[in-house]
Amino acid sequence: MSQISRRQAMAVLGALGFGATAAACAGPGGSTTPGGATGPAAPATGDITGRVSFAHWRGEDKAVFDELIKRFAAKYSGVEVVQDISTSNDYNAQGLQKVRGAAIGDAFATFRGAQFNNFSEAGIYTELKNSKAVGNYQKGLLTAGQSGDSQLGLPYQVVFPMPMANTDLFDKAGAELTPKDWDAFLGMCEKLAASGVVPISWPGGDVGNGGQLFNCMIANNAPVDDMCSQIEQGKLKCTDDWFIKMLNQYKDLVPYLQPNATGTAVEPAQNLFSQGKAAMLATGSYHIAAVRNLGATFPIELVFPNTSTDGNAKFEGVYNATFILGVNSASKNQAASAAWIDFLSEPENAGYYANETAQHVSVKDVEYTNADLKRLSPWLDKKTALAARFQFQNLDVRNAVEASATAVISGSSPEQAAEAAQKIVDERL
Amino acid sequence: MSTHTGMAAKRKAPENTTQAASKKRRSPTRVNPALYLFPLPAVAIIAFFLVMPTLQAFQYAITDWNGFSAAFNYVGVDNFVRAFTKDSLFTNALTNNLKFVLLVVIAQTVFSLLLALLLTKNSRGNVVLRALFFFPTILSSVSVAFIWKFIYDPNFGLANSALGAIGLEGLQGSYLGNNSQALYWVAVTQVWFHAGQMMVVYIAGLQAIPRELYEAAEMDGANKWQQFKSITWPFVAPATSIVVAYTTVQSFKAFDLILGIAGNPPKGSLDILSTRIYSTFANSEFGYAAAQSIIFMGMIALVTWLQRRLLRLTPKGE
């Protein structure tokens, strides 16, 4: 074996180091799209077989999806679907990075709003406009999965991010369930408080769940329906009168929230409601299954905190179409992935998912047999606003704007809280 | 001396006799190339997982890359300027982080030293107590965060329940929900979590002190404080350097604890640099997040260097 000098060895190592440096300095976008997301062409066709990774964040639905996977595998022999489940926070933060190379997530779900837009811009979705699945959905609910003329994703769930109500406690207190204006809503809270329960359990210490109340509070206050987009673009401001009015209405809620609400995490808030200590849980219908699991047996309804001051409210409630299903453009098994999405979108299977998870779905002709869903189904036909907080594209802006409401509950003046939020919005413009 | 010289002469002898052959075979500057293969795996791993990402971070920091798009622009030092002049969330996180580090370093150093002083003797009771104080260290930070999150819960939490049980309802509070207090309560958790580990470092230092010194001091009439000042402290001072440096770096990076206890994203009063960087990445501002990471890295390096300069605590005589 020939020998080399230390100098030669150092030169070799130096060359390796230089190569590494040069590789490191390659364009950021260039080398980081393994698998090569190719944009919104229709999913490839072929045999429905092989392995499909289904990436999502709903760990609580795992057993239901497991059953659906069994049924899917029985329909197509040789196909295997595995669930890659993250927590919702992780999925929000890292979903794009995880799914982009299709190492996981041949089929995947996204949140509505910023995450859906990021996935769309990254070219991770395939076009589902002409798919078998899309025809099964209620047309009006598909918009959250559209980008321009393309139907990139299929919003699977319909949730109502409005306070859930324990109707037994409402009956006992003689409080009405459908207040027509803000004074009526406060009157309702007053009656509930007088009956010895906490009127509203609100998880102010949990940004994701505490923020849902914002959808209700802003819907009838804002001058336009795309108010959050306009705040983010600088066309509307948190220091505008209508926003300050909304923050003052948040202040009105303070006596009716549980003590120290801004430090309450979501689980204790759910417990207050499940144990019958609080009449409302200000999160949304997506928590029905959770509170049932905590032992709640009372009838549950939804209540809209109607902020209208003259009784002429534009909206009767708020809804969100989310859990947007898509097929990964970088997937090596698009045929089976698309078939899995088609399968989930069949009314029978969507119905199974809905009834087992207590979530409404946006698929047509689904028969709801779950008692809670049956009771809440009339909300599907009411004049409801699409949940506004998901219009925000910038999470810092969204958090800052929602934090202004929390700050008011903590004791800040609405004007101070609004200014603090607007400062961050201005910095992000 | 003569032996040494003789050996040197022996070593030199072959060079004089078979100079050329020996040079080829035994030159200190020529080695078997196969030897260079041994460090290669380590070099490759370090280059791939440490050097390359660091270099990439520097490159991303001067771009406006969003983390997934092929399109990006080089923006020079704009991201660094933005962090300090146009981003109140970053400066808020920086302030919180410095406050948190200061709080934890002081509290943890004092508390762990006190624990060590109280439990340094090897009695059976002390061994049990040491184990108890050390116990939190073996838990994962996420578990610790969740345990304390529920201790602090204003409705079902242990803290308020305990206060209520002893008739101190007036002291019950929101803890994490109170913007002016939240950081202090998380600092309490951090100290609880790591004080046991630091206590062990101090105990090791204390047990190395010769007992004769205390006996002599007692004979000279020195009281406990004088003994601590003149004997104990000089001996445990080097341990303090370690404790302070370790605690500082740990407090700067209390990401998992803060995220676990305060949720994601943590509210403004609990947002520290590492959580802010995470939020910025999640907000698809990859270039800006990389710039923040570099600032963060620089700050830790600077603080560590300052500590080394200012805290050269060594036993007397060294």
pLDDT tens digits, residue range B122-164?
888 888 999 999 999 999 999 999 999 989 999 889 999 999 8
Task: Return d(Cα B283, Cα B279) in angstroms, integer.
Answer: 6
Residue that has been written with the tokens 């020996």 in this structure = B22
Q: Average of pLDDT values for B29-46?
A: 85
Q: What is the pLDDT of residues B184-228, one digit of tens each?
A: 999 999 999 999 999 999 999 999 899 999 999 999 999 999 999
Q: What is the pLDDT of residues B44-61, one digit of tens each?
A: 999 999 999 999 999 999
* Cα nearest neighbour of A393 on chain B: B283
Please tell me the number of Cα atoms within 13 Å of B309 on its side-chain side.
6
Residue that has been written with the tokens 């009281």 in this structure = B223
Task: Return d(Cα A42, Cα A60) in angstroms, integer.
Answer: 31
Contacts of A21 in chain B (CB under 8 A): 51-52, 55
B14 Cβ under 8 Å from any chain A Cβ: no
| Highest mean pLDDT out of A159-168, B68-77, B213-222 | A159-168
pLDDT of residue B2: 41
Peptide bond into B265 cis (omega under 30): yes
Q: Average of pLDDT values for A240-258?
A: 97
Confidence of residue B6 (pLDDT cuts 50, 70, 90): very low
Task: Return d(Cα A154, Cα B195) in angstroms, integer.
Answer: 51
Triad B268, B270, B272: Cα angle to 5°: 95
Task: Return d(Cα A312, Cα A296) in angstroms, integer.
Answer: 34
Q: What is the DSSP letter of B181?
A: T
Q: What is the mean pLDDT of chain B?
A: 86
Contacts of B33 in chain A (CB under 8 A): 1-4, 9
pLDDT of residue B29: 66
Q: What is the DSSP letter of A83?
A: E
B275: CB partners within 8 A, 6+ apart: B93, B255, B258, B259, B264, B265, B266
Interface test with B, best of A8, A99, A399, A423 (most B CBs within 10 A): A399
Confidence of residue A91 (pLDDT cuts 50, 70, 90): confident
Residue that has been written with the tokens 């109170």 in this structure = B178
Q: What is the mean pLDDT of chain A?
A: 90
Q: State the burial class of residue B167 (Cβ atoms within 10 Å of its Cβ: 0-12, 13-18, 19+).
A: exposed
- Length, in residues, of chain B: 318
Q: Is A427 within 8 Å of B268 when comparing Cβ atoms?
A: no
Q: Which of A78-92, A123-137, B105-119 has the lowest mean pLDDT?
A: A78-92
**Higher pLDDT residue, A15 or A304?**
A304
Q: Is A32 within 8 Å of B152 when comparing Cβ atoms?
A: no
* Cα nearest neighbour of A121 on chain B: B69
Q: What is the pLDDT of residues B250-268, one digit of tens each?
A: 898 899 999 999 888 888 8
Q: What is the pLDDT of residues A316-372, one digit of tens each?
A: 999 999 999 999 999 999 999 999 999 999 999 999 999 999 999 999 999 999 999
In this model, does residue A49 exceed pLDDT 80?
A: yes
Task: Return d(Cα B154, Cα B148) in angstroms, integer.
Answer: 12
Percentage above 70 pLDDT, chain A: 91
Q: Is A29 within 8 Å of B56 when comparing Cβ atoms?
A: no
In this model, does residue A5 exceed pLDDT 80?
A: no
B43 Cβ under 8 Å from any chain A Cβ: yes
Confidence of residue B28 (pLDDT cuts 50, 70, 90): low
In this model, does residue B174 exceed pLDDT 60?
A: yes
In this model, does residue A208 exceed pLDDT 60?
A: yes
Contacts of A30 in chain B (CB under 8 A): 70
In this model, does residue A6 exceed pLDDT 90?
A: no
The beta-carbon neighbor of B174 closest among A206, A260, A403 is A260
B85 Cβ under 8 Å from any chain A Cβ: no
Q: Is A118 within 8 Å of B284 when comparing Cβ atoms?
A: yes
B145 close to B263: Cβ distance less than 8 angstroms: no
pTM: 0.83
In this model, does residue B236 exceed pLDDT 70?
A: yes
In this model, does residue B231 exceed pLDDT 80?
A: yes
pLDDT of residue B124: 86
In this model, does residue B34 exceed pLDDT 90?
A: no
* Cα nearest neighbour of A394 on chain B: B283
B23 Cβ under 8 Å from any chain A Cβ: no
The Cα-based distances of B106 to A233, B205, B318 in angstroms read 45, 19, 26
B184 Cβ under 8 Å from any chain A Cβ: no
Q: What is the DSSP letter of A381?
A: G
In this model, does residue A291 exceed pLDDT 90?
A: yes
Confidence of residue A93 (pLDDT cuts 50, 70, 90): confident
B190 close to B108: Cβ distance less than 8 angstroms: yes
Q: Average of pLDDT values for A160-166?
A: 97
At position A173, the amino acid (one-letter code) is: A
At position A218, the amino acid (one-letter code) is: I
Q: Is B153 within 8 Å of A427 when comparing Cβ atoms?
A: no
How close B270 gets to chain A, by Cα (Å)?
Answer: 12
B155 Cβ under 8 Å from any chain A Cβ: yes
Confidence of residue A399 (pLDDT cuts 50, 70, 90): very high
* Cα nearest neighbour of A23 on chain B: B52
In this model, does residue A38 exceed pLDDT 50?
A: no
Task: Return d(Cα A85, Cα A91) in angstroms, integer.
Answer: 8
B149 Cβ under 8 Å from any chain A Cβ: yes
Q: Which residues of A273-301 are buried (b: 16+ CB within 10 A; e: fewer)?
A: bbeebbbbbbbbbbbbbbbbeeebebebb
pLDDT of residue B276: 96
* Cα nearest neighbour of B70 on chain A: A29
Confidence of residue A14 (pLDDT cuts 50, 70, 90): low
User: What 3-state class would DSSP assign to A175?
Assistant: coil
How close A137 gets to chain B, by Cα (Å)?
Answer: 30
Q: What is the DSSP letter of B232?
A: I
How close A306 gets to chain B, by Cα (Å)?
Answer: 26
The Cα-based distances of A306 to A126, A220, B86 in angstroms read 39, 7, 37
Q: Which of these, B285, B309, B306, lies nearest to B72 by C-alpha position?
A: B285
In this model, does residue A153 exceed pLDDT 70?
A: yes
Q: State the burial class of residue B101 (Cβ atoms within 10 Å of its Cβ: 0-12, 13-18, 19+).
A: buried
Q: Which of these, A249, A401, A274, A399, lies nearest to B93 by C-alpha position?
A: A399
Confidence of residue A98 (pLDDT cuts 50, 70, 90): confident
How close B51 gets to chain A, by Cα (Å)?
Answer: 8
In this model, does residue B314 exceed pLDDT 50?
A: yes
Q: Which of B 281-300 lie inside 8 A of A, CB atoms?
A: 281-284, 286-287
Residue B12: phi and psi, rounded to 5, are: -75, -30
Quick one: tokens of A143? 């918009």
Q: Is B177 within 8 Å of A395 when comparing Cβ atoms?
A: no
CB pairs under 8 A between A and B: 157
Beta pairing class for A154-159 and A164-166: unpaired
Contacts of B52 in chain A (CB under 8 A): 20-21, 23-24
Contacts of B60 in chain A (CB under 8 A): 28
In this model, does residue B31 exceed pLDDT 70?
A: yes
The beta-carbon neighbor of A93 closest among B36, B87, B282 is B282
B161 Cβ under 8 Å from any chain A Cβ: no
At position B188, the amino acid (one-letter code) is: V
Q: Average of pLDDT values for B304-310?
A: 82
Task: Return d(Cα A202, Cα A208) in angstroms, integer.
Answer: 12
pLDDT of residue B317: 46
Contacts of A115 in chain B (CB under 8 A): none
Q: What is the DSSP letter of B86?
A: S
